[in-house]
Structure 1
Amino acid sequence: MNWISEVVRPKIKTLFKRETPDNLWIKCPDTGQVVFHKDVEANQWVIPGSNHHMRISATQRLQLMFDGSTWIDVALPEVAPDPLKFRDSKRYIDRLKDARTQTGLQDAFKIGYGRVEDMPMTIAVQDLGFITGSLGTAAGEAFIKGAETAVEKQTPYVVFTASGGARMQEGILSLMQMPRTTIAVRRLRDAKLPYIVVLTNPTTGGVTASYAMLGDVHLAEPGALIGFAGPRVIEQTIREKLPDGFQRSEYLKDHGMVDMVVHRHDLKPIIARLSRLFMKAPAPAVTAPVTTEVAAAAE
């Protein structure tokens, strides 16, 4: 090697190197279509053309729902971080630290209180980025705190589910959250407050077996995977091929498990209108244009 190849060429490469962000383009998982990142973001993280609903964080969800993207964070109860001192390939306490660093959340739930089309509302969102949105003691306490806040503020309680199920690192303690959250839903009913569930991709395991299927109304985003066990496990168990679209939101709507499959653009007006109907609240002075599905929700 001589000085031309060792010195001159690297400097020339550096001079003409163009920095390109890694997330400049997004590839649609359904069609393979490549879309400009800003276009997807402007479309509420829905791929234009294919209408594939991408997964979004809890903070992004609250920004889309609350008026002016502003709300008051509900402080969540503190729990013992690693009650069983669990360890697999990695210590559970270290997994929690990593998840908190990556998401900025204390656990899988983020809860806000604010207004949706001028309607006071308490909204809880599961973040799939936090250990697949799994249900543990902290998430169970957060869900209950959200229900208590709704009762205290006398607002509807809206929950966006996204979870892989119960958190294995907490064993029986995670399974105990299923009856505890069910009791919290019962308290909402006793207070005559609406409980609206929005099922997003994916909603599985113990979450589906508890509060995700106890709503007064069940909405779902298009194409969301919703079920207890995954389709592959079911096929291996019954040794039969499952129907096309099995456990997807559209399939569940056709079979009576979901009330409506709603595009992300329409979720806010539909939830606001349903809440006003349940709470017998007057319509806002100025209403935003709504689609046919939104109008049908009020009938």
Structure 2
Amino acid sequence: MAHEPEDPSVQKELPRRTFLRNATLFAGTVAGLGGGLELLSRRPGAAAEGTLPGAVTPAARPLGPYDVKDPITPYAQATSYNNFYEFGIDKADPARMAGSLHTRPWTVRLDGEVRKPQTVDIDTLQSWFPLEDRIYRMRCVEGWSMVMPWLGFPLAALIRRMEPTSKAKYVQFTALYDPKQFPGQRGNVLDWPYVEGLRLDEALHPLAFMAVGLQGRVLPGQNGAPLRLAVPWKYGFKSIKSVVRITLTEKQPHTTWSLAAPDEYGFYANVNPAVDHPRWSQATERRIGDLGRRKTLPFNGYADQVAHLYTGLDLRRNF
């Protein structure tokens, strides 16, 4: 299925990086977007073909308490139109290059302000928790969105197993750094490895989710295999992919996009239609597969569940 070009007012603002640092990079991104009509005709990598034990298709089960009723983004689109700068800056690069990522063996370091620091194999970690299906909206800071049926486990379950100390206030996530597997890391578009973070209370919220699968299948490399974060009330760049370390900290982590462009990408990054990006409006979005645009919902439609986390916090200043 062909993918229609982004709204011109949004398209010309991409990629999410200050243009002055690398003019050549920007030119390449614009060229990539211009060729966007063929993006969604490309088949996802073979790693996406496996199914996880016990997985069910979203249509085959009743909606859970945190699911949404929105139509699900087709698998071919969800795995062919991705931001994953470790593979490259074009939306097609992740699906094209994901074959270079080897997800076994894979270990995750759990450390920081915890009573049980350890390094655990990904399959062992996954076996600790029953897998759950979650259908979440995903809103990119660039102004487009999807509806993703994840398979995984609540982040809170993992954090409680780590046994935080009284000093733990934040959770820092670190992605794999390996330029041999991630060709995008051979350049300096970002400071690698990719790092993201949440307040501890955000991480303990039932919506915060660690995904190992997508639409009942093993998570594809282009979508963050083998382990990624999903925090649906925040812009997509907060949902770090290919996680290799989870660290509980006393101080707020220095996160990748906040360091790259602090006036554009804040630590919180809550979806807020009333706070525009400095270079484009956030009032509307385009759902991938739709021709028109729709209004952006506060907290991406999860305000009833998460707004209380920010009582008294200036969400314009703490964007």
**Structure whose alpha-carbon radius of gyration is higher:** 1
**Fold shared, TM-score > 0.5 on shorter chain:** no
Structure with the higher strand share, 1 or 2: 2
The structure, 1 or 2, with the larger RCO (C-alpha pairs under 8 Å, 6+ apart) is: 2
- The two structures have a TM-score, normalised by structure 1, of 0.28
